[in-house]
Chain A
Amino acid sequence: MTAPQDIEGILAKRYDAGFVTDIEQDTAPPGLDEGTIRMISGKKEEPSWLLDWRLEAFARWRRMREPRWAKVEYPAIDYQAISYYSAPKQKPKLESLDEVDPKLLETYAKLGIPLHEQKLLAGVAVDAVFDSVSVATTFKAKLGEAGVIFCSISEAVREHPELVRRYLGSVVPTTDNFFAALNSAVFTDGSFVYVPKGVRCPMELSTYFRINASNTGQFERTLIVADEGSYVSYLEGCTAPMRDENQLHAAVVELVALADAEIKYSTVQNWYPGDENGVGGIYNFVTKRGRCAGARSKIAWTQVETGSAITWKYPSCILEGEGSVGEFYSVALSNHYQQADTGTKMIHVGPNTRSTIVSKGISAGHGQQTYRGGVTIARGATGARNHTQCDSLLIGNSCGAHTIPYVDVQNRTAQVEHEATTSRIGEDQLFYCRARGLSEEDAVGLIVNGFCKEVLNELPMEFAVEAQKLLGISLEGAVG
């Protein structure tokens, strides 16, 4: 079954979040050396242990090489041409939202993220990171009553140094990979969450990342710790203005779940993908990893990746605790000249650990999509089980989908299953839908949403709707 030529014509995309906010910025000149790191650390008034940690990461990073094994192509990144710090000019510490620059609030409102508490989606607390710094965290008081700490990581370093010191780098060590090392050296902000023992976080927590300044990289660092028997659901959303040059985003996210704790981490990633000719867009090199440290703990990653020129991302779980559970649900879409090399790693260390992987890749235009997934069963992981389902959907004839599973089983009692399918939206399907009265775009949307349903169902309700819309917009013009 092949799709006709005209399907390719449909792929002209609109990017809604592509505006620039005109705001006074405090931006460091491009370049990276020890001085840059001291400058960042100084701006943030960090303790010396953190500066030392950064400097060590930087020393390691200088000796590392950029990974080239992913199936993505891009010109060499000049790390000296990037500015590593950019912040809106304003008073450094904010006591309430009223002190936030109205232009910033306007930006978030335009993005559909109303920061004012009264306008908030009921029960969702939001931390917003604008370029390098966190500008507002809502609902702090209500969370405080439950004992939940939700703040920017800079604030956490000041207010809860013992927690940060204990867990920062405990899941993704500074030396883990090139981009993680770079992030460790220069990270500027991000979110911190601590949910105390036995507490079910009373609301969804949410962070919105926004790159505004040109020529800057964004290196945020997120750390979430769920203490014994606690539960938290966290959602991250990202956007950036349309610019002709590529911008680097290299984040690190670390999750720690102690015994009987559960962390649900959802991402709707809509960084600027570049235009229909592949000019501009975000390079998204992200390290996300969770550690199920305690028995029966659970970490679930759900991601909808529609943006970025390049996505390099493998949210993973280290399943140490006996009977701990890792889940990965992913929809990744590559249209035009977008490239995504994404997947997960499930590392089974403890006995009776279980993992589920559901990956849905959609390629359209000249988009290239690679699922790269690793399942490791260590010697001690008696009775471990993994199920992987990996489906690819192709729209048109110029895109590609690739599936690269790695399986390493050291314990014979383990069960590992892998299923993969590839299908194409056919001209016959589109004609059938149109003959029933649906426009071609609605038909594509219907088929794509049907294809992704299993993953979208894992998202919190209001975000599932958002994600569905985003998929529709990202495929606008995908068929002619």
Chain B
Amino acid sequence: MLKIENLHVRVGGTEILKGLSLELGAGEVHAIMGPNGSGKSTLSYVLAGRDGYEVTEGRVLYDGVDLLALAPEERAAKGVFLAFQYPVEIPGVSNVYFLKAAVNAVRKARGEKELDAIEFMRFAREKAKLVALDAELLKRAVNSGFSGGEKKRNEVFQMAALEPRLAILDETDSGLDIDALRIVSDGVNALRGPDRAMLVITHYQRLLDYIVPDRVHVLVDGRIVRSGDKTLAGELEARGYAELGG
């Protein structure tokens, strides 16, 4: 489903990704681990289409299509979703209103019928329940004044509503308490399916106890230096990144 080949990316004049390759099949969940600053969020932004990330070499195919040629909103319409490491606040725009606009934009692009206000409220309540999101947060402005954990939960809520085919979760577990971690993981697991794929970026083995990955990749200094099965995560937790080198 996703094929990244020899990806080189420059940000602000510095090369951050230095030949990253990765293949993710339909139905699979892969984890990416790696030290701070190694380029994990850079990868997630490039996949979602953020401006200012200059691809100097390599390519990314999504269902055989050149992903990098698409605008961010076109990628979203095709089912790419990024759960942000740092979700953005949008004061004045209510969370439900925002999500309704997003869901309908994506539905429209996919040729599906847009949901009216009543249909959407029913739909949103259902999805909120899935990640135990406080109904009060639906009415508040997008991420405005949300706690760190609430923001992360809101990302998973949006993911549940947008039903992506390729979900990239950038440290969605950071800032979650133990109970929230389980709830969010249950929400993510509920979305797993033969037609979906997920890229889960994390620093902690703990998340991978809940969301069990098919593969684990270690990203150091802009390259994947090691890949393995789920046991690799435990190994890293015990030994650190130091001896893996660059």
Contact = CB atoms under 8 A, between A and B. Distances in A.
A438 interface: yes
A446 interface: yes
B145 interface: no
Contacts of A437: 73, 76-77, 102-103, 105-106, 109, 162
A439 B90 contact: no
A135 B94 CA distance: 43
A428 B86 CA distance: 10
B82 interface: yes
A368 B65 CA distance: 44
B9 to A, nearest CB: 16
Interface in B96-121: 97-99, 101-103, 105-106, 109
A79 interface: no
Interface in A423-441: 423, 426-429, 431-440
Given A440-B73, A450-B141, 8 more contacts: A6-B51, A437-B109, A437-B162, A438-B73, A446-B93, A450-B91, A450-B94, A451-B91
A428 B87 CA distance: 9
Interface residues of A, number: 24
B183 to A, nearest CB: 22
A442 interface: yes
B92 A439 contact: no
A367 to B, nearest CB: 20
Contacts of A450: 90-94, 97, 141
Q: Give the size category of B's interface with A.
A: 20 to 34
Contacts of B210: none
A447 interface: yes
A4 interface: yes
A4 B51 contact: yes
B71 A432 contact: no
Shortest beta-carbon contacts, A-B, top 10? A450-B92, A450-B93, A437-B76, A434-B72, A436-B102, A432-B88, A437-B106, A437-B105, A434-B73, A435-B48
A453 interface: yes
Contacts of B91: 423, 450-451
Nearest to B108: A437
Interface string B54-90: 0000000000000000011101110001101001111
11 contacts: A4-B52, A429-B90, A434-B73, A436-B162, A437-B73, A437-B76, A437-B103, A439-B73, A439-B105, A440-B73, A450-B91
Interface in A4-51: 4, 6
A435 B101 CA distance: 12
Contacts of A451: 91-92
B49 interface: yes
A442 B104 CA distance: 12
A274 B42 CA distance: 42
Contacts of B76: 434-437
B49 A435 contact: yes
Contacts of A429: 88-90
A447 B101 contact: no
